[in-house]
């Protein structure tokens, strides 16, 4: 903690002094992680919890929220859905959220859509779309004499929220009713963009299944664009971007790789990939036996959801009894990412296996990981792309990302790659946000305060300090550690 405080920018030292007395000994802010990693408070270094159990806002009751997916019949696809084309909108729910807790959003709608899983089987998922407050003056329908096109949005970003869970009821379409994790959605909405959030893990919660995540992201974009004109999106000049950090980057990056072959009809104007983790094996080794160990458990469960042989091997190799047993391991299938982080914190996950790490390294497991959780093997991004990563990323070596960027560039990609000489994985989540937004602005709106190569690739070493006060999410100032400080405008 002392080293962390000593390295903070001067403007944050005062804030740290204000916030530390408010933090309990064991911080339970909101739920955690992005991943295959976990994020920490930029002020204290504590694990940041989001997406978990939360008391409802004042005067709100359980009836002010949609039920979880397992209890919401709207999630059941209609008869015959399997025969439709990928990207087909199967069902739409306008004004989806009874209670909207994300600033700068005026409304939501949801789309149930057809997609394809990692084994190329027909599947389905749900996308939730947040409409910016600036859209309020977009008078509909478009055929109305009072239709005001200049007030209607034309930009839409498929934003990949880190799910980190092997529980289908921990899907973003359900949990985002409560709050967003980092404030990135708030900031995109402030720029007047529709924000599309897919449940990219699919109905089985296939955490870390990259092909599934990529397909679900692309098909969510197809499905939403097929109906978004009804909600005022300017379809004659629409621009589409992808953005994700860490676990969210996992989905966005696979979508960028798969787009040319899987969705050649879909025009993507930009992809933004932050804190990427190109190889799940490397990341799991780094997360094990730390406060991130719970995400090793959920990644192993998630990657085997669609792989019956690997799941059968996993179940055979888990200890039936003892302190690290099969029941305790499988309990993660009913946990949010935050629950898993708490339940398995500090554990050596390989203690659950009969043969320890050798079982995890067995081809029965590694073949699945290498097929479905390693980037750079499924195509080359054909859209302009921005990659950003900290030089000292402790979750995934920066050189692994540099290697896939270099390979894409040799094959004709257009990529700007920022390597930040300051900070680690969690720092870059905050430090990289403004550059990510400026890149998206350049590609969606035609103006952005960032230098981008018109063609080819450019790698730039940047030195961006951690200074996140004005980037912190709203909940930080309302019911997080900054509550009562009178600094809500900074969030």
Q: Which residues are identified as catalytic?
A: 246, 393, 425
**Pairwise CA distance, residues 487 & 41, whole Å:** 17
Quick check: 349 and 293 in contact, CB under 8 A? yes
Phi, psi dihedrals of residue 186, rounded to the nearest 5°? -55, -45
Element containing residue 42 per DSSP (H, E): none
Cα–Cα distance measured from residue 232 to residue 151, given in angstroms and rounded to the nearest whole number: 9
The three-class DSSP label of residue 457 is strand
CA 16 to chain centre: 27
By CB atoms closer than 10 A (0-12, 13-18, 19+), residue 362 is: middle
Alpha carbon distance, N-terminus to C-terminus of the chain: 24
Strands 270-274 and 385-390: parallel
Return all residues near 133 (Cβ < 8 A) that are at least 6 apart: 104, 105, 106, 189
Q: What is the DSSP letter of 245?
A: E
Q: Is 371 helix (H, G, I), strand (E, B) or coil?
A: helix
Q: How far is the C-alpha of 370 from the C-alpha of 32, rounded, in Å?
A: 26
Contacts of 19 (CB under 8 A, 6+ apart): 43, 44, 481, 482, 485
> Distance of CA 90 to CAs 110, 126, 127, 197, 295, Å?
11, 10, 11, 17, 32
Q: 179 and 346 in contact (C-beta within 8 Å)?
A: no
Nearest to 418 by CA among 372, 451, 370: 451
| Contacts with 399 (C-beta within 8 Å, 6 or more apart), sequence order | none
**Best CA proximity match to 475, nearest among 263, 192, 214, 179:** 179
Residue bearing tokens 């912190």: 472
Omega before 141 within 30 of 0, i.e. cis: yes
Q: Give the three-state DSSP class for 455.
A: coil
Q: What are phi and psi of 59, to 5 degrees?
A: 70, 5
């Amino acid at each position: 903690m002392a080293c962390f405080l000593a390295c903070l920018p001067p403007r944050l030292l005062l804030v740290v002094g204000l916030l530390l007395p408010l933090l309990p000994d064991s911080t339970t802010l909101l739920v955690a992680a992005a991943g295959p990693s976990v994020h920490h408070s930029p002020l204290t270094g504590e694990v940041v919890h989001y997406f978990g159990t939360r008391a409802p806002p004042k005067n709100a009751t359980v009836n002010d929220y949609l039920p979880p997916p397992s209890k919401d019949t709207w999630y059941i696809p209609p008869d015959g859905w399997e025969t439709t084309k990928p990207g087909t909108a199967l069902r739409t729910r306008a004004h989806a959220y009874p209670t909207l807790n994300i600033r700068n959003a005026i409304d939501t709608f949801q789309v149930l859509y057809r997609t394809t899983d990692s084994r190329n089987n027909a599947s389905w998922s749900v996308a939730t779309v947040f409409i910016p407050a600036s859209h309020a003056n977009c008078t509909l329908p478009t055929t109305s004499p009072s239709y005001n096109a200049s007030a209607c949005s034309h930009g839409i970003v498929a934003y990949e929220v880190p799910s980190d869970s092997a529980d289908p009821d921990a899907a973003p379409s359900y949990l985002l009713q409560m709050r967003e994790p980092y404030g990135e959605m708030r900031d995109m909405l402030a720029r007047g963009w529709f924000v599309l959030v897919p449940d990219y893990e699919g109905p089985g919660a296939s955490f870390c299944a990259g092909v599934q995540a990529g397909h679900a992201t692309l098909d969510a974009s197809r499905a939403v664009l097929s109906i978004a004109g009804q909600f005022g999106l300017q379809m004659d000049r629409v621009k589409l971007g992808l953005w994700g950090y860490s676990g969210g980057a996992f989905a966005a990056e696979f979508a960028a790789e798969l787009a040319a072959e899987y969705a050649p009809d879909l025009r993507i104007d930009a992809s933004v990939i932050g804190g990427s983790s190109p190889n799940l094996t490397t990341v799991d080794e780094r997360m094990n036996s730390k406060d991130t160990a719970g995400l090793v458990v959920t990644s192993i469960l998630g990657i085997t959801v669609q792989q019956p042989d690997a799941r059968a091997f996993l179940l055979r190799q888990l200890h039936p009894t003892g302190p690290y047993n099969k029941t305790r391991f499988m309990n993660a299938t009913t946990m949010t990412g935050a629950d898993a982080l708490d339940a398995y914190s500090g554990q050596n996950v390989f203690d659950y296996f009969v043969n320890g790490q050798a079982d995890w390294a067995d081809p029965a497991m590694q073949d699945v990981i290498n097929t479905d959780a390693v980037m750079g093997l499924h195509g080359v991004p054909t859209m302009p792309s921005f990659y950003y990563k900290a030089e000292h990323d402790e979750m995934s070596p920066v050189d692994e990302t540099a290697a896939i960027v270099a390979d894409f560039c040799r094959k004709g990609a257009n990529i700007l790659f920022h390597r930040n000489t300051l900070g680690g994985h969690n720092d870059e989540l905050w430090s990289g946000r403004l550059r990510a937004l400026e890149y998206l602005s350049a590609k969606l709106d035609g103006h952005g305060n960032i230098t981008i190569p018109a063609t080819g690739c450019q790698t730039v070493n940047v030195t961006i300090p951690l200074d996140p006060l004005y980037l912190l999410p709203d909940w930080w100032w309302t019911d997080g550690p900054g509550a009562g400080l009178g600094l809500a405008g900074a969030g």
